[in-house]
Structure 1
Amino acid sequence: MTLFDALSPLSSTLELVLIALSALTSAISASAGIGGGTLLIIVMAQVMPAVALIPVHGMVQFGSNLGRAALTWRHIDRQLIAAFLPGVVLGALAAAWLLIRLPSGVLELCIALFVLYSCWGPSLPKRRLGQGTTLLAGAVTTLLSSLIGASGPLVAAFVKHSQTTPFARVATFAACMSLQHLTKAFIFASPDSCFATGWG
């Protein structure tokens, strides 16, 4: 338990609970295709501040999605990823610029509103997008991911509909989410980011 205590201000017991929950929510996402990330961020929001919540949640989800993408790499739609990746880069750059300019409390409000929408809002339309609109979707969802944490329902709205088999849906979705969550390691680790202020 000494290692846990050194790595985080949370208690060792709480850290073990969160590790177990991350495994459970990863299994939910793998089997149902979506929902695990939102459930995880709801629980994590109860024990850590927003400036820590989004990057920590992002790294947990990066590991979860990267594992699924690695196991199902043969089924990944590489054309969709090629169009999605430039948008991810643009969205991450926009997020890095925006986050240091957000007034206090906006990040918490964005997370809360998204969780409420995920639970009770109408489903987003599912449609196949062209390369240009896929790039735009990558940019917009990556920007939103840095504000709300769990952007899975947004990405799934077009990724899942464009794939014809369950394996292709899971694999392509996992690859897209891996790219998005990886950007948070750079956005929130920046010395000028709001995450640099720490847990307080």
Structure 2
Amino acid sequence: MIDLITAGLDWPVVVALLLTSCAASFITAAFGIGGGGVMLAVLASLLPPLAIIPVHGVVQLGSNAGRSVLFLRYMRWELFWPFAIGSVIGVAVGGMTVVQLDPGWLQIAVGAFILWTVFGKTPGIFKRSGPVAGAFSSFLTMFIGGTGPFVAAYVKAQDLERHSHVATQAVLMTLQHGLKSLMFGFLGFAFSEWAGFIAALIVAGFVGTWLGKHMLARINEKRFKLALNAILTVLSLRLIWSGVRLVFGI
């Protein structure tokens, strides 16, 4: 039974990841974004390389699904279907891509675009085009995993009230991570070996989401948007720096 939960990892690693999952979900529920990047960074340092993106995808699927349930009444459904159509196309193309794209340049490009949406004028087509945002972000997530900031930039462009922002972000990311997980399963990743461990991380994440929801209720709109922009800036700079290190071997 214990082995089902630990997936062969040492207990200190398991405990660290459970705490990280709780903290990451708290951050995302309270501020709209950021937890997925934190979770990916910690997983990348503690899990085998081939397991990082698939495990992260399912954990984020569970985390976002829990957040979707808690915030569902605030969801802006008119944004869902255009994004969903694009996401199906993006994941399918990403899964069928034989040539491995350079993840370094992808990270630099995504990071630079997010900075543009934070400090510049958001392109009109990006605000209006859910299919484009869904396709591009879902394609990228098959290669670099953490595309939550890109989706958050799209949701931010809709200028939603803070509860609607968190709800819409959660539902769109649930869809995206669900499609990605299905594709990785189709491509042969052995999720069964990690099932108990993933389930424990999802439960820890739900606790963090519940705590974060109560924090969100205490934040006004101005502070929420300031926090969102600050987190997006930090995550985009991290993406750019990671990309630079990969491209130039720093």
What TM-score comes out, normalization by structure 1 length?
0.81
Secondary structure of residue in 2 paired with 1:150: coil
Superposed, which structure 2 residues align to 1:50-69 within 5 Å? Answer: 50-69=49-68
**Does the C-alpha gap of structure 1 residues 129 and 80 become closer, same or farther in structure 2, counting only changes over 3 Å?**
farther
CA contact (8 A) 2:141 2:147 kept: yes
What one-letter code is carried by the residue in structure 1 that aligns with 2:91?
A
Counterpart residue number, 2:162: 166
Q: Give the Cα separation in 1 of the matches to 2:110 and 2:72.
A: 31
Residues 80, 134 of structure 1: 8 Å contact kept: yes
SS at match of 1:46: helix
Instruction: List, as ranges, runs of 4+ consecutive aligned residues in structure 1 with deviation greater than 4 Å.
Output: 115-118, 127-132
Find the aligned partners of 2:33 and 2:113 in 1 and give their Cα distance: 15
**Residue 71 of structure 1 pairs with residue 70 of structure 2:** yes
Q: Whose helix fraction is larger, Structure 1's or Structure 2's?
A: 2
From 140, 149, 168, the counterpart of 2:145: 149
Counting matched residue pairs gives: 188
Letter in 2 for 1:35: G
Using CA pairs under 8 Å that are at least 6 residues apart, name the structure with larger relative contact order, 1 or 2.
2
Cα deviation for residue 112 of structure 1 reads 9.7
Q: Does the CA-based 8 Å contact 2:84-2:134 persist in structure 1?
A: yes
Unaligned regions of 5+ residues in structure 1, if any?
Answer: none
The alpha carbon displacement at 1:91 in A equals: 0.9
Aligned residue type for 1:110:
P
Q: Give the 3-state SS of the residue equivalent to 2:115 in structure 1.
A: coil
Identity %: 33
Deviation at 1:37, TM superposition (A): 0.7
Distance 2:134 2:32 in 1: 19
Task: Output aligned runs, 1:25-64, within 5 Å.
Answer: 25-64=24-63
- Residues of 2 paired with 1:13 and 1:138: CA distance? 37
**Could you say which residue in structure 1 is the equivalent of 2:179?**
183
CA 1:53–1:176: 2 relative to 1, 3 Å: same
* Residue in 1 that maps onto 2:246: none
Distance 1:111 1:10, change over 3 A: farther
How much has 1:115 moved relative to structure 2?
8.8
Listed as ranges, the gaps of 5+ residues in structure 2 are 194-250
2:43 alignment partner AA: M
TM-score using structure 2 length = 0.66
Q: Name the Cα RMSD after superposition.
A: 3.0
